[in-house]
Amino acid sequence: MSVFAGLVHDLADLLQPLFGAGAAAAAVVLFTALVRLLLHPLSRAAARGQKARAALRPRIDELRRRHARDPEKLQRAVLALHTEAKVSPLSGCLPSLAQVPAFFLLYHLFTDGSDAGLMDHRLFAAPLGGTWSDALGSGGPLGGAGLVYAGLFAVVGVVAAAGYRLTRRAVADQPAAPPDGTPGAVAALGRVTPFLSFFTLVTVAVVPLAAALYVVTSTAWGVAERAVLYR
């Protein structure tokens, strides 16, 4: 944690001439961008995997028609097809999973109170260690901190709407049924998955502002990345 806190401090010092009192908030955004840049190769691999799975869709549909009465044989055939094409169904999860340690480091740094210097930093009127409920308690939704969160929620709404459209398009490109022949389950999942983009609003509302900045920046990066890589 001390090494990580030192990194955030160094980034804040570097950005101080440009952002003044908001340097620590800018450091969190820059740190998030650096994490996403390091994970970009995984995102490119995930995009290649999704395109490969979409290309296999006609062959999977043919296997489903051929083995409609034997779900176990269908599943083995589909897995063999994925192995032959060197396509992993888990590749799309790697970029998100790899970010979990960075998010929790940032969350812990701004909640355990071990670094008072960072806890005192603010984004305009909102302390980086505070939450939306703190902002509502100190000045209400129209107070200084409340307005910071209002702006953040507006950004999240725009990003989530863009993510919703991209996810709907991606779901539409996936096979209509899984190897075990339960199209109803996939249809239900396909209806729910696009709305997960809006779960970011809940996250931003409950985590410290520093962690919320990480989530918003990472989500915006991810949406922009998907728009480029999945076109």
pLDDT one-digit tens code per residue, 110-153: 887 666 667 778 999 999 999 999 999 989 999 999 999 999 99
Number of H helices, E strands in the chain: 12, 2
- The owner of tokens 């290649």 is 48
The token duo for 189 is 């999942």
Q: Half-sphere exposure of residue 116, counting CA atoms within 13 Å on the CB side?
A: 0
- The owner of tokens 């071990």 is 114
**What is the pLDDT, as a whole number, of residue 206?**
94
The pLDDT confidence band at residue 185, using thresholds 50, 70 and 90, is very low
pLDDT for 180 beyond 50:
no
**What is the pLDDT, as a whole number, of residue 114?**
66
Q: pLDDT over 90 for what percent of the chain?
A: 42
Q: Give 171's strand partners.
A: none
- The owner of tokens 């507006």 is 154
The most confident of the ranges 5-14, 81-90, 147-156 is: 147-156
**What is the pLDDT, as a whole number, of residue 224?**
94
**What is the pLDDT, as a whole number, of residue 127?**
93
Mean pLDDT of 146-167: 93
Count Cβ atoms within 10 A of the Cβ of residue 20 and give its class: 0-12 exposed, 13-18 middle, 19 or more buried.
exposed
**What is the pLDDT, as a whole number, of residue 148?**
96
129 secondary structure, DSSP code: T
pLDDT for 24 beyond 70:
yes
Q: 94 versus 175: which is more confidently predicted?
A: 94
**What is the pLDDT, as a whole number, of residue 91?**
66
pLDDT for 102 beyond 60:
yes
Global pTM value: 0.82
Distance CA 137, CA 22 (A): 22
pLDDT for 217 beyond 50:
yes
CB 173 within 8 A of CB 94: no
User: From the CB of residue 26, how many other CB atoms can be counted at a distance below 10 Å?
Assistant: 19
Mean pLDDT of the chain: 84
Task: Report the 3 state secondary structure along 167-196.
Answer: HHHHHHHCCCCCCCCCHHHHHHHHHHHHHH
**What is the pLDDT, as a whole number, of residue 186?**
44
Q: Is the dihedral of CA 147, 150, 152, 155 positive or negative?
A: negative
Range in 9-13, 89-93, 103-107 the model is least confident about:
89-93
Angle of helix 2-19 relative to helix 94-109, nearest 10 degrees?
A: 80
